Amino acid sequence: MPLFKDQGIVVRQHKLGEADKIVTILTQGSGKIRAVAKGLRRTKSRFGARLEPFTHVSLLVHRGRGALDTVTQAEILSAHRTVREDLALLTAGEAMLEAVDRVAEEHERNVRLFLLLLSGLRVLDASPADPAAVAESFLLKLLSLSGFHPALTACAVCGNPAAALFSSGQGGAVCDGCAEHGAGPVAPEALSWLAGVARADLADAGGMTPPDAVRREARAMLYGFAEYHLERRMRTLPMLARTPLPAAVVP
């Protein structure tokens, strides 16, 4: 089946020669693909802006024999324009794309990952009050999907609920008895905020804003944990960390 039809979300693109581009797309049925889109950078191109990052497209793809496929048709299902036009939304969206690019396997179907990204972008489209919290909730869900769910409510090693230290290498929260070298103390409020956004629907993740100090500590834990398990420094996380926080909601 050299030609297939699918839908996907453009994760990134880069130039290839004078007029062509290579686009990385997370598809619903075929996992991540890397495909040549010919004539993209010419004006009046058939594809024009259709294959910009964040765009949800319906595609006709010619399966290549090597690593590269070829996009032969693309129709926009949603441009997610809102996400691209606001810095905080863009920053949150870029963190989602980078994390997806990191975990998605080429030509390996992962419908849950595709649906997670689609719902993440839809939530950002609605301009949530706290886009960074949506991205952080997304990151926790992506880690869980990928087999790296952090322990947040009890010790990762023995299940003791009195877990007041945190170690990325040991899998999250750990208790005094299990903590190895490198585990550091963590405030219970930071763990419980992370547990809350991990459980929440993406659309509700922005609605539980703790004091800034708690949020910053939770962020440091989450970002360190993500980079440890995704085995890569993430370009977008320092930007996400600088997103202004909304005022804490005092219950």
Task: Note the residues at the interface with Zn ion (CB under 5 A).
Answer: 155, 157-158, 160, 175, 178
Alpha-carbon distance of 105 to 38, in angstroms, equals 24
- Identify the burial level of 22 via C-beta atoms within 10 angstroms of its C-beta, where 0-12 means exposed, 13-18 middle and 19 or more buried: middle
Closest distance of CB 194 from Zn ion, Å:
18
Closest distance of CB 186 from Zn ion, Å:
14
Angle of helix 131-145 relative to helix 87-103, nearest 10 degrees, comes to 10
Closest distance of CB 198 from Zn ion, Å:
20
Q: Using CA of residue 29, residue 47, residue 12, residue 81, what is the dihedral sign? A: negative
Distances (CA, A) of 83 to 96, 108, 226: 12, 27, 23
Closest distance of CB 166 from Zn ion, Å:
12
For 154, phi then psi, to 5°, come to -160, 165
Nearer Cβ to Zn ion, position 140 or 157?
Answer: 157
Nearer Cβ to Zn ion, position 111 or 158?
Answer: 158
